[in-house]
Structure 1
């Protein structure tokens, strides 16, 4: 891409969360990726945010979920009923 279509650090930083969540368009993803390749400061911030996200996901996987009997079914029925409205 030409320098005219490159993101500034502020623009890239504003998109980092959506980049991490894979919620950007293909064009925006490419722009952020290109910025991270040339900007050490933003790349460092990206690595930090990505590591925090990986840590949170790992901790969530470790949580043992025990629901009271029938709660899951009641919630699913309520969601279905709400969706039918």
Structure 2
């Protein structure tokens, strides 16, 4: 979005990928440019998706590794 001194990022798309199977497991769009509030909704979306497909009752309680850049720093 144009601003007085350049541009301001006003939206953000976040994607979660299963590294082992090379497939997208969650995608969400947010109406804010910053990422710090998006980790928890993405993790909740992954959990819900796996429950809905009856693949796994609680995938996030398994021995998994979640990586994210520093923009995702929050209370998760």
User: What TM-score does the superposition give when structure 2 sets the normalisation length?
Assistant: 0.30
Which has the greater radius of gyration?
A: 1
User: What TM-score does the superposition give when structure 1 sets the normalisation length?
Assistant: 0.28
Structure 1 or 2: larger strand share? 2
Structure 1 or 2: larger helix share? 1
